[in-house]
C-alpha cells in the first residue's frame, strides 16, 4: 500500500496536488478540510462544532478531527493506500495518525513538504475559487475556469471560501507556522520527508511529486 501525506502552509497547493495525485496513482484522496466543510454544509453536529473555528482560521479541536479521521480510515478503499491532505497539523495529530494507521495495519510511505513563500500564499488564496461539487480549485488569474463561475471538470458552481479573506489567511498562516517546524522535524527523523518548492507551476510540482513517490515505492501504478 502507498500512504502519501502532503504538508505545507495553506495556499501551498496541497488540495490541487492531492486531487491530481489521487487521479494519477488511483488512490483515495482524504482531505480533513473537505470533510469538515461537507459536515458544515450538511449541518451535522460535527459541522456545527467545527464551523466557528474554521471561520476564525483556527484549528478544530484535535479530538473531533481524530474521530472523523478514524471513521474515514474504517472505509475499505484505504487498503491500497491514500493521499492525505490537511492532516496532521501538529505533533499531537502526527502521533494520532501513527496510532490510527498502525491499528489498521497501514503506514505512511512518503511525506511531501510543499515549501511556499508568504507572497505566493496571499496571492493564491485571495484569488482562489473552489468547486462546490467536486472540490477542484481554480484561481481568478492563475487558473481561470473556461466559463465564469463554473467548474471545468463537473460544471459545479465555484465559490470563494469564507476563510480565504485576507485577515483569516494571515491568522491561518500564523497558526500553521507555529506547528510546522516540529512537524517537519518529526518526519525528518523518520526519514520520510521530501521537501520541494511549490512556488512554481502546479504541473511541475506534480511531476516532481510523482517522480519521488515512484522512486520511494515501486508498487505504484502509474
Using CB under 6 A, list all residues that contact ligand AMP: 10, 32-33, 36, 53-54, 57-60, 65, 86-87, 89, 93, 163, 172
Catalytic: 14? yes
Instruction: Please say which residue, 91 or 147, places its beta carbon nearer to ligand AMP.
Output: 91
Instruction: Please say which residue, 55 or 214, places its beta carbon nearer to ligand AMP.
Output: 55
Q: How far is the CB of 82 from ligand AMP (least distance, A)?
A: 14
DSSP 89: -
Catalytic: 72? no
Q: How far is CA 28 from CA 48, 152, 169, in A?
A: 26, 21, 27
Catalytic: 161? yes
Select which of 37, 72, 124, 161 is catalytic: 161
Catalytic: 172? yes
Judge contact between 158 and 129, C-beta under 8 A: yes
| Phi, psi angle pair for 124, to nearest 5° | -65, -45
The rounded distance, in Å, linking the Cα atoms of 190 and 69 is: 22
User: Which residue is nearest to ligand AMP, using beta carbons?
Assistant: 33
Tell me which H or E stretch contains 108. none
Active-site amino acid positions? 14, 89, 128, 161, 172
Amino acid at each position: 500500500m502507498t500512504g502519501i501525506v502532503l504538508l505545507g502552509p495553506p495556499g501551498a497547493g496541497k488540495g490541487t496536488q492531492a486531487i491530481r495525485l489521487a487521479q494519477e496513482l488511483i488512490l483515495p484522496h482524504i482531505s480533513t478540510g473537505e470533510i469538515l466543510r461537507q459536515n458544515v454544509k450538511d449541518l451535522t453536529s460535527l459541522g456545527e462544532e467545527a464551523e466557528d473555528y474554521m471561520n476564525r482560521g483556527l484549528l478544530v479541536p484535535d479530538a473531533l478531527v481524530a474521530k472523523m479521521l478514524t471513521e474515514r480510515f474504517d472505509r475499505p478503499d484505504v487498503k491500497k493506500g491514500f493521499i492525505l491532505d490537511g492532516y496532521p497539523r501538529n505533533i499531537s495529530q502526527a502521533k494520532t495518525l501513527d496510532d490510527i494507521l498502525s491499528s489498521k495495519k497501514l503506514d505512511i510511505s512518503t511525506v511531501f513538504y510543499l515549501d511556499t513563500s508568504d507572497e505566493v500564499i496571499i496571492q493564491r488564496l485571495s484569488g482562489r475559487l473552489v468547486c462546490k461539487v467536486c472540490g477542484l480549485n481554480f484561481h481568478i488569474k492563475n487558473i481561470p475556469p473556461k466559463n465564469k463561475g463554473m467548474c471545468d471538470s463537473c460544471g459545479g458552481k465555484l465559490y470563494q471560501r469564507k476563510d480565504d479573506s485576507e485577515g483569516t489567511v494571515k491568522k491561518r498562516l500564523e497558526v500553521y507556522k507555529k506547528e510546522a517546524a516540529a512537524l517537519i522535524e518529526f518526519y525528518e527523523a523518520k526519514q520520510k520527508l521530501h521537501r520541494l518548492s511549490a512556488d512554481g507551476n502546479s504541473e511541475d510540482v506534480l511531476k516532481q511529486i510523482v517522480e519521488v513517490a515512484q522512486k520511494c515505492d515501486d508498487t505504484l501504478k502509474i
